[in-house]
Structures are given as C-alpha cells and as structure tokens.
Structure 1
Amino acid sequence: MLQGKKILLGVSGSIAAYKAATLTRLLVKEGAIVKVIMTPAAADFITPLTLATLSKNEVPLHISDHNSWNNHVMLGRWADVMLIAPASANTIAKMANGLCDNLLLATYLSATCPVLFAPAMDEDMWKHPATRQNIARLLQYGHQQIPVAAGELASGLIGEGRMAEPENIVALLRRHFSVAASARKPLDGKIAVVTAGPTIEHIDPVRYISNHSSGKMGIAIAEALADAGAQVKLVLGPTNLTTHHNGIDIIPVQSAEDMFRSVIAVYPLSDIVVAAAAVADYRPVQIADKKIKKGEDKFSISLEKTHDILRTLGNNKGPQQLLVGFSLETNNEREYALKKLRDKNLDMIVMNSLADPGAGFNHDTNKVTLFDNKGKERDIPLKSKQEVARDIVSAIIELQHA
C-alpha cells in the first residue's frame, strides 16, 4: 500500500526524534517517497544529514533553506500524507493554535493532505489539561492521532507518552491508505475553480451596471465538485447566497476585473475550471467619484469591453486542464453555444435559455444541454439546480477519464 506514496515526515524536538531514522528507513523500504522536514530543536537530537541520507532527499531545517520560503506551500501540496513523528507537546500546541515560527509549522499550515501525528512526551505532560485540549482541537481539524505507547520515559518514569514504534506507525499508514483507497472519490486530488454570481460595474458611488444572476447554479456546481472530492476555489460575485461546504474556499469579488484577476491567479494550479458566472461584457470607461446629479433629459455612458475571461483561459489551457463554459441565450441558442465552444477552446459548454420556463436566473430549477468538444450532446430536463449540478459534474468526470 505504500509503494509510490509521497510521505512528508515532520520531526520535532523530542528525544524520540532518534526513531525518525528507523521510521524513514522502513518507509523507504516499503517503496514510499519520503521527504523530511525538521524543527531546529529536532536537530539537537538527530542530524539532518542522517535523515537526508536515509530518505535520499535534502532535509531543510530553516525556512530560508533550499528555497523553502517559496517552496513550503508546494511541499505541503506534494504529499499524500503529512506525518509528524515525533510530535512534541510544544509542536502540538503550536499546531492546535495555528502558530507558525518554523519551517515544519509553515508547511503544516500549507498542507492540503491528511495529517497524522505521533505524540511523544512525558506522562505528566501527556495528561495535562492543556495538552488534552490541544489534542482534541487537532482531532476536530480532522487530523489522526497515532496512539501513544506506555513504558519507560526519558524522565526515567514508567507511564504513557512514548511515541509509537516505527513498525506500528508504518502498519497504521498501510491501513490509512487501504481505507483511503476504498473511500476514494472520483475527483480526489483535483483542484477546481468555479465562477458564480453576477459582477457589478460602478457608474458612480451609488449606481452600477449588473445583471439578474443569483449565483445559485454556480454554487450548486461548486458543492457538487467538492462532494466528488475536488478542492474548490469559488470565485463569487456579489450575491446574498453563500456556501459552508468544507471543500470550498470562497474568493469574493465584485467587478469583472476583480473576477478576471482572481481567476488568473488560481488558474495555473487548477485541474478543472467551470465558468458559471454572469460576467459583464462592458464597463463604464470612467467612474464618477461623486453621485451624478439629474440634469438633461438624455444621458449617455461610454462603455468599454471587459476582459474575456473564458477566451483568456482557453488560450492558456494546459493539456491536463479541463475548461467548462456557460452559454445563456435568448435566441439561436444552439448556434451560439457551439460557436463559443469552438472559439474559446472549451472542453464543454452548458447551454440554457431564458425562453425555457423554470430555467435561467433566480429559479431553483434549471434545464440545460451539454455539448463537449468530442461532439457529444446531452439534454438535461428541468430539475433542481443541485441535480443539474450533479449531472454536469458527472459529465466532467467522464471527460476527465476519456
């Protein structure tokens, strides 16, 4: 179960740090790819050179080592599991409270993978109410605690608090990956970006141009993607709706320019993009800094084009990225949708029409037709937007495996 698994081993300052050498050797023997990061205090118990030799990877110690300042986020994304062993009382307390004063903690706070930790400390420290509270908080975060062992402690006392033996930790990791394999979701490990809602383009401090989009469809798609295992970045325009799904990070925006910049920032790391937002095609050339007063019988505003987000994404799409657009029309729906699919280098387009009763803006239902770049067409009848979202995500999953 560990063959080819990427394991990030964090070693903190505990006498049990010496066990990290055996643990590293066993993991490598099982076929795992092991990278080790240490706290400065851990280096008082075992040298980085020892663990670098056993893991066959450099072991950074400080946040400035080996470009770690730039790379600790990617290191946290690289791993299939982050294993902190030993996890001292001090490191556990910092993890529980979000402190970040060394490389291990900076990487921990950036980790998007499951986190397992093996406590190691004296019995009185282990049983202290503060430690118990910190452990409880880490469990609330969804982390997995490796049970401590009882026996002779560094203080010379006999009791609980010993770090689990490396062989037991390896066995637990095997079980972890076995359970994960049986519970795997189709989009596990994928990063998805969804745009939703309207944009607003200011005319003056009190007026703006917008549209009737509520964001319901885009939010439903974001939730369906997260339910399928994806980590979702929801770029959400101004709406009174939101979501509290654990797998969704919301990036709030207002204008088309805000949405463009936010999407472009997260696009390079994304695997899937679903552009469901109703983005303004034009914006005022100038925004008045004071309220425009009523005057002449006729009043005109000069407009300029906004960035074409979909076209920009399509022009810069990588071979492994999947791009889905929306086409909401009032006439010639099929013609316009297929043209948009081709012209903007999309993998799939979702077509719906304001002419269909119960579809379009502000409804709880929708009726759509899906066209993909392989020529497949799929009609989805009038359903709740949540059901339509699941159908769209099913089509995305099929395209991912085509």
Structure 2
Amino acid sequence: MSDRKPRVVLGVGGGIAAYKACEVLRGLTESGHDVRVVPTEAALNFVGAATFEALSGHPVHTGVFTEVPEVQHVRVGKEADLVLVVPATANLLAKAAHGIADDLLTNTLLTARCPVVFFPAMHTEMWEHPATRDNVALLRSRGAIVTEPDSGRLTGVDTGKGRLANPAEIVDLARLLLAAPGALPRDLEGVRVVISAGGTREPLDPVRYLGNRSSGKQGYALARVAAQRGAEVTLVAGHTVALPDPAGATVRHVSTALELREAMHAEAASADVVVMAAAVADFRPATRADVKIKKSDELPDPVVTLDRNPDILAELVRDRRPGQLVVGFAAETGDEQGSVLDHARVKLKRKGADLLVVNAVGDGKAFETEDNSGWLLAADGTERSIPLGAKAQLASTVWDAVVGLIKR
C-alpha cells in the first residue's frame, strides 16, 4: 500500500477572506495532506507568499512563466487528488465557468481531473446576481462542486449570505471528498430536512444539570453534508462543543429536552425528512431549585426525584405527514440481554422509524470523537455496516440511504 500523502491544491482567490485560507492550509497539513498553494496575484495583496510557503513547505507562484521546464501549469492540476478554491470570488467563479486561463490557478482548474471544490465568499448582492448564479449552475452542471456560503458578518458593516464557510468545515469536507470523491452530489435539492444534534441539559439548580457526553459533531456533520447536497436544512441544536453553524443551514438553539421537543415538532410539520441525532436526556429533575443546592454537614443529603422525558423520536414517527421520512439514532451497549445490534433491532421496531443509525458507545467510541462507525438499519429489514471513518462519511452514507428511499 502506498504511503503517499494525498495531494491537495489550495487555490486562493483575491478576497478579504483569503486570510482564512491559512487556517485551512494548517488544518490540512496537520492532518497529513501534502498541500500546494496556488494563489491569484490579487490574493497576495491579502496574504504574502512567504506565509503560504512557510505553512505548506512548497514554493508559491501565480504565473505560468515560472518553472517552465516542469510545465507546472499542467502538472499541478494533473497530479492533484483534490483542488479547493478558498475563497472563490465572483471573478474566479466567472473565469472558471467560461474557461478563462490567464494565471496558474485558472490553468490548474482546467487541467485537474480530480474533484474541484469552490468555497464562495463575496457580498450578498454579488452572490445573488444572475451572472453569478448562472456561473455557479454552469460549473455544477460540469461536475464541479460549488458549496453554499455561510451567512453572517461580511466586509465592513454588511451582513448576509456570502460569508466563507468556517475553515474547520472546509477541512472536514475536504477529508470527506478525499475518502469518497462522489460524496457531495446535488441530489437533495428541493428537499427540506430537519436535524437535531447535541445533548440536552436538564437543570437541577442554577448551577447543576443532568446531561450526557454528546458533542453534537455527528448531527452537525449531517446538516453540513445535507446543505452541500442541496437540501434546505434546519438544525435544532442542543448543547455542543462550541461548533460553528454549518454553512447553508438555519440553526435553532435549544437547551432542555422539552425545548428540543417543541422545536422539532414545529419544524417537522413542513419537513420532508426528519433526523433525530440529538442525545436527549431520558430523565429530568422533577423540580428545579431556584438557588444553588448547598452541601452541608447539618442537613441530610438531597434526594433527586426524576421525571421521564418524552420519547421525541416515537412522537415524530406517530405524527409524521404522509411521505415524510424519519431517521433515528441509537447509542447502544451490549449486555446480558443481547448485543448492540440485538437492542437496535428491537428499538427500530418499537420506534417505527424508516432508518435507524446505531452506534456502539463506550471506550472512546462515538461520543466526543472525530470519527464514527456503526450500522444502518432499515424498516424493510436490510442492514448495513458502516466502517470507521470521519463523521461526515457516516453522514454521507445516511443521506445516500435517504435519497434511495425518496426515489422509490
């Protein structure tokens, strides 16, 4: 087996978000990728070549008349396993769509035969302009991946859609495409999905709560991949490990199981697909103290009475609209009564979901990790093992199964 590092070309456009390309570069190199930075001349007005060279370990050029004997204007693209353009300005999208090749980066885009991914960043008016929308559609029709930009603060005081996706999200999607080059087809366009993620916290007093170890990373990966496959995504997020909102998704933040229940029922009313990936607390304190419960040698230890939280997944299945798909998640451990899969099969039958993603937990598995594995069980009795990989890979597998059910 070859130990060659995956080769990534990081194209950098001439926008203010160019500085974030440095974070992408650092994330890719630290995760074992060989990254060659190819900026435009305009990009070097924002970040100097020395910075890119120091972080990548490769020389940086913008024109086609350097290293001419190496024919690098052809070689760089042909040797790449993945090409990323971060940020992809309106100007770069236009050049790429119409085959203009007037520097090293645009030549590279024409010669690459690997996945090419554009991460747009521009003002909202530029992103929404018919010329840009036509260029995006043309690029996508030819097989390029043009991701949905984020919404938020832009240059100056402006706010809106057109913000560059978070660098960690870009690295995550790059890892996904290197592992599975076909993982981001635009096959969820016109589909509205609602996803829950993270853990819930059930307050005991103003300081303490009952909770769990869920980081929310799997639910966020599901939202991130769905948005980039064209879905209209709403993410109902409980408590997470300070994860950035996925680009292209609308996010509602909640805290308790009852708050998550209310939000999911409201959003599911108009959804085509509902995914319950949140780790909902099974119980909540029957009463919440208004002041911190004190520890005292003079007082008896407090007794906490618990109430059972509602089964939100079962409710969503019960109340679903005709044709709506419901996907559940189950974190299981084996015991004397059966294996992880034994318990999962019983749960799928009891819940009535169309699909159930099962994760074996404990010993550093699933919770608070970057990778995940498990099984995908379907209501028709089919079962599929999901090998260990990045959580975005598991998300892609789930959406592949959802698309298969939609097309039936």
Q: Normalising by structure 2, report the TM-score.
A: 0.55
For residue 193 of structure 2, what is the amino acid of its counterpart? Answer: A
Q: Which residue number corresponds to residue 253 of structure 1?
A: 254
What is the rounded CA distance, in whole Å, between the counterparts of 1:240 and 1:364 in structure 2? 12
Q: Which residue number corresponds to residue 320 of structure 2?
A: 317
Relative to 1, partners in 2 of residues 1:315 and 1:366: Cα closer, same or farther, differing over 3 Å?
Answer: same
What is the rounded CA distance, in whole Å, between the counterparts of 2:243 and 2:376 in structure 1? 26
Aligned with residue 304 of structure 1, among 302, 307, 332: 307
1:400 aligns with 2:400: no
Relative to 1, partners in 2 of residues 1:197 and 1:141: Cα closer, same or farther, differing over 3 Å?
Answer: same
Aligned with residue 354 of structure 1, among 352, 361, 386: 361
Relative to 1, partners in 2 of residues 1:325 and 1:176: Cα closer, same or farther, differing over 3 Å?
Answer: closer
Q: Which residue number corresponds to residue 271 of structure 1?
A: 272
Cα deviations by residue, 1:219-254 (Å, 9 ceiling, x for unpaired): 111111112111111111122332343321110000
What is the rounded CA distance, in whole Å, between the counterparts of 1:176 and 1:278 in structure 2? 37
Contact 1:216 1:241 in 2 (8 A): no
How far off its partner does 1:341 sit? 1.4
Match of 2:260, SS state, is helix
After TM superposition, list the pairs within 5 Å mapping 1:165-244 onto structure 2. Answer: 185-244=186-245
Q: Which residue number corresponds to residue 371 of structure 2?
A: 365
What is the rounded CA distance, in whole Å, between the counterparts of 1:145 and 1:382 in structure 2? 42
Contact 1:285 1:302 in 2 (8 A): yes
1:341 aligns with 2:348: yes
User: Post-superposition, which runs of at least 4 consecutive aligned residues in structure 1 deviate over 4 A?
Assistant: 175-184
Aligned length: 240
After TM superposition, list the pairs within 5 Å mapping 1:27-46 onto structure 2. Answer: none
For residue 363 of structure 1, what is the amino acid of its counterpart? Answer: T
Q: Which residue number corresponds to residue 110 of structure 2?
A: none
Cα deviations by residue, 1:198-223 (Å, 9 ceiling, x for unpaired): 00000011111100000011111111
Contact 2:217 2:240 in 1 (8 A): no
Moved more, 177-186 or 387-396: 177-186
CA RMSD of aligned residues (A): 2.5
What is the rounded CA distance, in whole Å, between the counterparts of 1:390 and 1:253 in structure 2? 25
What is the rounded CA distance, in whole Å, between the counterparts of 2:308 and 2:294 in structure 1? 26
After TM superposition, list the pairs within 5 Å mapping 1:120-199 onto structure 2. Answer: 139-144=125-130, 185-199=186-200
What is the rounded CA distance, in whole Å, between the counterparts of 1:252 and 1:219 in structure 2? 12
Contact 1:139 1:145 in 2 (8 A): no
Relative to 1, partners in 2 of residues 1:182 and 1:266: Cα closer, same or farther, differing over 3 Å?
Answer: farther
Cα deviations by residue, 1:177-210 (Å, 9 ceiling, x for unpaired): 9988777821001111111100000001111110
Cα deviations by residue, 1:78-128 (Å, 9 ceiling, x for unpaired): xxxxxxxxxxxxxxxxxxxxxxxxxxxxxxxxxxxxxxxxxxxxxxxxxxx
Relative to 1, partners in 2 of residues 1:303 and 1:351: Cα closer, same or farther, differing over 3 Å?
Answer: same
Contact 1:237 1:277 in 2 (8 A): yes
Q: Which residue number corresponds to residue 59 of structure 2?
A: none
How far off its partner does 1:363 sit? 0.9
Q: Normalising by structure 1, report the TM-score.
A: 0.55
What is the rounded CA distance, in whole Å, between the counterparts of 2:344 and 2:286 in structure 1? 29
Contact 2:224 2:247 in 1 (8 A): no
Q: Which residue number corresponds to residue 288 of structure 2?
A: 287
Relative to 1, partners in 2 of residues 1:244 and 1:294: Cα closer, same or farther, differing over 3 Å?
Answer: closer
Task: Give unmatched runs, 5+ long, in structure 1.
Answer: 1-135, 147-171
Relative to 1, partners in 2 of residues 1:387 and 1:179: Cα closer, same or farther, differing over 3 Å?
Answer: closer
Task: Give unmatched runs, 5+ long, in structure 2.
Answer: 1-121, 144-184
Say which one has the larger Rg.
Answer: 1
Relative to 1, partners in 2 of residues 1:328 and 1:290: Cα closer, same or farther, differing over 3 Å?
Answer: same
